[in-house]
Structure formats: structure tokens, C-alpha cells
Amino acid sequence: MKVLVPVKRVIDANIKVRVKADQSGVELNNVKMAMNPFCEIAVEEAIRMKEAGSVEEIIVVAAGPEKSQETLRTGLAMGADRGVLITSDTPLEPLSVAKLLKAVVEKEGTELVLMGKQAIDGDNNQTGQMLSALLGWSLGTFVSTIECNDGGYKVVREVDGGLESVQLTKPSVITVDLRLNEPRYASLPNIMKAKKKQIDYYTPDDLGVDVTPRVHVLKVVEPPPREAGIMVQSAAELVDKLKNEAKVI
């Protein structure tokens, strides 16, 4: 069985994000970039499934600028077999990405798409759901446990009220959450081997997908700084300030 793992190049999670002076977006020049943390978890889970014998081939796919090849190489160094890069300098919205992934799924003949629940830049949490709808496949979101069985996949979802167990039929789209696993570090030998692994290149036109943006960002601003806290002398004073000053009770 083939598994497709979409990965995204984002600003490193440990870097403080800065807004551009003209407020048109966030600053990306001279900023450390890395694989989206949720995507790393998806790659790690795919590798574990392959080690357990459930998966034969892992294909990592990225959509974005040419530099996204670096992110694919990271996935290949972790243990993926080959990569697919869809090059586009146009900002890609979740629906466009879902359509591109659908085209790759149909081209590759994969039965499972394992992906992060969201990217930490846009925080949209939409692509997996849209891809499932476009393909007509079963969907498991916010997954923290995956168990392969004859019928498909038994997954545990993290929901507001706790945990929900769901049985998915194949083929499936699964979006993963933080507590699924701890991604491994790529060893130096694997990093060297990744440089020789195959990457196939496409454009949106090659896949027959229109990626024209439908949403335009008007302005990006930083959140207001937090006000300094104050010390209170008693619970009564705390309640009074919460009620009359903060007006939250």
C-alpha cells in the first residue's frame, strides 16, 4: 500500500514571527524555515506504519515555491521513499492545495493520505477535510492513535469532550494531532541518502488545477501587547476588579 504524506514549509516554530512594515503579511526574508510540526508527526507515523509492514511506499508531497524542495528532503531523510513537488509562486489556499493533492492521489494510486491537522502559519485546518470531500474518502481528524486492521483504520480523535474512537474504511484521509508520536531526528547517513532519492516535479497546470486566489489579505497586524498584571490583597478585591474593571463576571 502507498501512503501520501503532504508536508509544508513554514517559519520555524521557535522563531518569533514579525509583521512586514507595510502590513501585507509576515516577514519571510532571512527567516529560518522548517517543516510544519504536524507534518513531521504525519511523516513519522507513516514511517512507523512501514516498519510495521502496513505500508510499502511513502510519498511526501509539497506544494509551493522551489525552496519547498528542502522540506521534501527533510521528509526523505526521515525515511520517506520519494517526493513530489508542485511548484507555484502563487499563494496557495486550502481548496487549491486539496485539489492539487487529489490530482496527485489519482496519479499515484494511493489508498491513504496521512497529513497534519493544520499548518502553523495559516492555522486553517481545512485541507484534509476538503481533500476527503473531493475524493469521497472516509475521514478521521485530530487523530492521536492509529491502529490498522482488516476493515481499515481504528483511530482515536481528540474532541472537545475528550476522546472519540472511530473506525474508518479504506481509502482514508487522516489528519494527525500532536500526541500521536514523537518525530525522529534524521541521521547524517540518511540525510546524505536523501539527496539521491527521487523527486518528481509538477506545476498546477500539469495537474489541471486552477490555483487563482479567491481570498485577498487586506492587512496583517500584530496582537496588542498584554497589559501588566496587578497584585490584589484578597479574594473579595479580586472579584470586585473582575466584575467592575475587567467586566468578565
Q: Is residue 135 part of a domain?
A: yes
β-bridge partners, 147: 154
pLDDT tens-place string over residues 62-106: 999 999 999 999 999 999 999 999 999 999 999 999 999 999 999
Distance CA 128, CA 3 (A): 14
Residue 247 in this model has a pLDDT that exceeds 90? no
Alpha-carbon distance 85 to 200, whole Å?
Answer: 6
Average of per-residue pLDDT values in the chain:
94
Asked whether residue 196 is assigned to any structural domain, the reply reads yes
Q: What distance in Å separates the CA atoms of residue 22 and residue 37, rounded to the nearest whole number? A: 28
- The rounded distance, in Å, linking the Cα atoms of 173 and 152 is 11
CA distance to 2, 64, 182, 221, per residue, from 56 (Å): 6, 27, 22, 46
pTM: 0.88
Any domain includes 249:
no
Residue 191 is part of which domain span?
2-244
Q: What is the pLDDT of residue 156?
A: 96
Whether residue 59 is contained in a domain is answered as yes
- Write the CA distances from 104 to 20, 32, 123, 207, integer angstroms: 34, 28, 23, 8
The count of structural domains within the chain is 1
Q: Do residues 145 and 152 touch, judged by C-beta distance below 8 A?
A: no
- The answer to whether residue 156 sits within a structural domain is yes
Report the alpha-carbon distance of residue 236 to residue 58 in Å, rounded. Answer: 60
What's the CATH number where 7 sits?
3.40.50.620
pLDDT digits (tens, 9 = 90+) for 118-173: 999 999 999 999 999 999 999 999 999 999 998 899 999 999 889 999 999 999 99
Neighbours of 193 (CB within 10 A): 14
Residue 144 maps to a domain:
yes
**Mind listing the pLDDT tens digit for each residue in 23-56?**
988 998 889 999 999 999 999 999 999 999 999 9
Query: What's the CA gap between 78 and 89, in Å, rounded?
Result: 26
Nearest to 209 by CA among 104, 117, 130, 111: 104
Give bridge partners of residue 35 from the DSSP assignment.
Answer: 9
